Amino acid sequence: MDKKVLTVNGREVEFTDERNLLEVIRKAGVEIPTFCYHSDLSVYGACRLCLVEVEGTNGRPNAIMASCSTAPAPGMSIRTETKEIRAMRKVAVELLLANHNTECPTCVRSEDCKLRKIARQLGVEHIRYKKLKDFAPIDVSSPSLQRDPNKCVLCGDCVRVCSEVQGIGAINFANRGSNAQVVPAFGAGLGEVECVNCGQCAAVCPTGAITPKQDVDKVWAALYDPTKTVVVEIAPAVRVAVGEQFGAKPGENFAGKLVAALRIMGFKRVFDTCFSADMTIFEEATEFLDRFTKKEDLPLFTSCCPAWVKFCETYYPEMRPNLSTCRSPQGMFGSVAKKILPEQLGCKREDLVVVSIMPCTAKKFEAGLDKFKVDGVPETDIVITTSEVQRMISSLGIKLDELEPEAFDMPLGFSTGAGVIFGTSGGVMEAALRFAVEKATGKTLENVDFKMVRGMDKIKEATLETPAGEVRIAVCHGLASARALIEKIKSGEAKYDFVEVMACPGGCISGGGQPFGATDAIRKQRQAGMYVADKTAQLQKSQDNYLVDKCYQEHIGGGPGSHEAHELLHTTYENRSRAFDAVIPALRGTDPERVSVIMTVRADSDPKGGEKALKQLVDHIKASARPEGFDVDVAFAGSGEESVEVGGNAVPGFRTPAAMKKVKGLVDAAC
């Protein structure tokens, strides 16, 4: 096979399947500046910084081309730098800076801002152009993200990652020419549209236009308050990324050093979210075995990822019965911590502050949900991201890489390798299989590795043979992949028993709150770090975590599946769909703590059957022990599955006696 060769700056470069000149040039060791090019996304070609000169042939003049959108061809001769090209790049950057909020010292992206880096690289010292636009207000409507339109360079990375990787499209281009901007639909705030808070827009934004919402000041305020006892938990994926700013390689485990740094900051106790990840497996694997045995509400979907859960509630509310009722590890940790730590630490519950360090921006949204509050107070008080804790460490002058590692505090600091691998795609599934297979067989699992669920493939499928029967599993990451998987399930093209979904590419290792600039190579290194931590752990199966078992015995009703465990460690889901064509109130109670009942009716279905079912439901409520305790609404939808939701618990269908019996049972339980 003939080699394909072209010339870059006078040097021959061999190429194979690179999709454009930019990739070939970077392969040759030349880093051309770009804003709008991202290897994980489609080619957009908007910023024009990647211009190169391609030598003409057959008497044609040399041509200036965008290297990101030009395919390589054998024999091409390319120059990446000429006087004209440098001038064009400088003009492009100056025009961007003319209308850019240049308060760089106070910008959270100051250290890794690509605009600042490229301006320095090109030698931009003066801006020759006048500002044309007034600064727009900053969008702080989201609990997870902040959007500053005055720092947007119109690269479109956020638009494409939201559409192509997540399949959502919560943000897009509007207007044309000098009025062009990137905004949510109808100019609304991010918190007012169907954004799932995953933060992948912030993960690819080359400037500070979209960033994780900063909650560091809340943490400092709590630490400086002598009346507060402040504890902190560290999520699995944080440990393999937090050291990167301090000279560590991606994937290097900095858990012990981070523990030491947090104690220097003043945290009373430092715990590991991997403890509650193990607890999640106790609950979720038990739940799966029960559903699999009864063949009810399968497939079971994991519920650890709040961005995925909101995606399901918004776009596939009819699939909510398939979501595991387990809280996420953060949700479980906050609940358990607020229950047992006040007595152990000698403080009042209201004076205990639980801080959570997460790789994920959606965890900020999750912690603020009303269902995770007691008397209006969140069980997890403050959530900060990996990048935020990096800033806190730097602000104190702590040299993280030079600290001696320290151990987590007990009992909520002990975990198994199964809890650690929650941080990567396939990890939750593998941890659950280590539990479920051992429980199903009644034999000690000698080989704990389920490598078929590992790796960076967007969708992974496998079948396990067990004494209880064949178990069909699937693992996916990226919400566009989740959408494709769900559509196959709904159409009957695919059938599974257990499905893991994570919103971010590769899982939590590249969550929206992780250090900026994750590539596939970095993700693979972080993923490898997760499995090294698993292998070096004392124990590798969640069921072997004796401190989780002890916590159950002493504080949570004796074991998974108990009534107290259900109250502390499980949750319900709501219908966030905006697909309703109309909503009609059918019954209104007077009790201040009313239970919401929503009957979703297909607009194209038989109206008489719906009216009959509604009358049955309303009559049953009126005859119940607490008729004043319910609000009943009828929602008419143009598509989707008919259902009745009682206090967040959904029953698919309502036209059959069996379905209506389930609905009445939920009403009776709510009384």
Domains 92-212 and 218-569 share a fold: no
Question: What is the mean predicted confidence (pLDDT) over 116-135?
Answer: 82
Q: Are the C-beta atoms of 300 and 499 separated by less than 8 Å? A: yes
Q: Which fold has domain 580-670?
A: Glutaredoxin (3.40.30)
CA separation for the pair 520, 522 (Å, rounded): 5
Question: What is the mean predicted confidence (pLDDT) over 499-510?
Answer: 96
**Does 10 or 263 have the greater pLDDT score?**
263
Nearest C-alpha neighbor of 187 from the set 168, 173, 169: 173
Question: What is the mean predicted confidence (pLDDT) over 115-142?
Answer: 84
Which homologous superfamily does the CATH classification assign to the domain defined by 218-569?
Fe-only Hydrogenase (Larger Subunit); Chain L, domain 3 (3.40.950.10)
Question: What is the mean predicted confidence (pLDDT) over 302-307?
Answer: 96
The per-residue DSSP string of 387-423 comes to HHHHHHHHHTT--GGGSPP-PPPSSTT---HHHHGGG
Q: Which residues contact 282 (CB under 8 A, 6 or more apart)?
A: 435, 542, 543, 548, 552, 559, 560
**What ranges do the domains of the chain cover?**
4-81, 92-212, 218-569, 580-670
155-199 residue pLDDT tens: 889 999 999 999 998 898 888 877 888 988 777 889 888 899 999
User: CA gyration radius for the chain?
Assistant: 27
Instruction: Quickly count: other Cβ atoms within 10 Å of residue 121's Cβ.
Output: 13
Token representation of residue 299? 């497939």
Q: Given pLDDT bands bounded at 50, 70 and 90, which one contains residue 203?
A: very high
pLDDT for the residue numbered 147: 95
CA separation for the pair 400, 261 (Å, rounded): 7
For residue 210, the cross-strand partners are: 147
Range with lowest mean pLDDT among 75-79, 120-124, 548-552, 640-644:
640-644
pLDDT for the residue numbered 580: 47
Tell whether the model's pLDDT for residue 56 goes beyond 80.
no
Tell whether the model's pLDDT for residue 108 goes beyond 90.
no
Q: Given pLDDT bands bounded at 50, 70 and 90, which one contains residue 118?
A: confident
pLDDT for the residue numbered 642: 84
Range with lowest mean pLDDT among 93-102, 312-321, 441-450, 617-626:
93-102
pLDDT for the residue numbered 218: 97
DSSP 8-state assignment for residue 290? H
Q: In a 3-state reduction of DSSP, which class is residue 577?
A: coil
Question: What is the mean predicted confidence (pLDDT) over 77-101?
Answer: 87
pLDDT for the residue numbered 603: 62
Q: For the domain 4-81, what is the CATH code?
A: 3.10.20.740
Mean pLDDT of the chain: 89
Q: Given pLDDT bands bounded at 50, 70 and 90, which one contains residue 633?
A: confident
538-563 residue pLDDT tens: 999 999 999 999 999 999 987 887 88
560-618 residue pLDDT tens: 878 888 889 999 998 887 544 455 667 888 887 888 888 888 766 776 677 788 888 98
Which amino acid does the sequence have at 486? I
pLDDT for the residue numbered 581: 47
Q: For the domain 92-212, what is the CATH code?
A: 3.30.70.20
Give the CB-side neighbour count of residue 379, counting CA atoms within 13 A: 25
139, 263, 372, 376, 651 from 369: Cα distances, Å: 20, 29, 6, 10, 23
Token representation of residue 238? 């944080």
pLDDT for the residue numbered 461: 94
pLDDT for the residue numbered 329: 97
pLDDT for the residue numbered 639: 62
Q: How do beta strands 580-587 and 630-637 pair? A: antiparallel
Question: What is the mean predicted confidence (pLDDT) over 297-308?
Answer: 96
pLDDT for the residue numbered 102: 79
Q: Are the C-beta atoms of 631 and 596 separated by less than 8 Å? A: yes
Question: What is the mean predicted confidence (pLDDT) over 497-523?
Answer: 94
CA separation for the pair 466, 293 (Å, rounded): 12
Q: Given pLDDT bands bounded at 50, 70 and 90, which one contains residue 237?
A: very high
Range with lowest mean pLDDT among 75-79, 222-226, 341-345, 484-488:
75-79
User: Helices in 570-656 by DSSP H: which ranges?
Assistant: 607-622
pLDDT for the residue numbered 607: 66
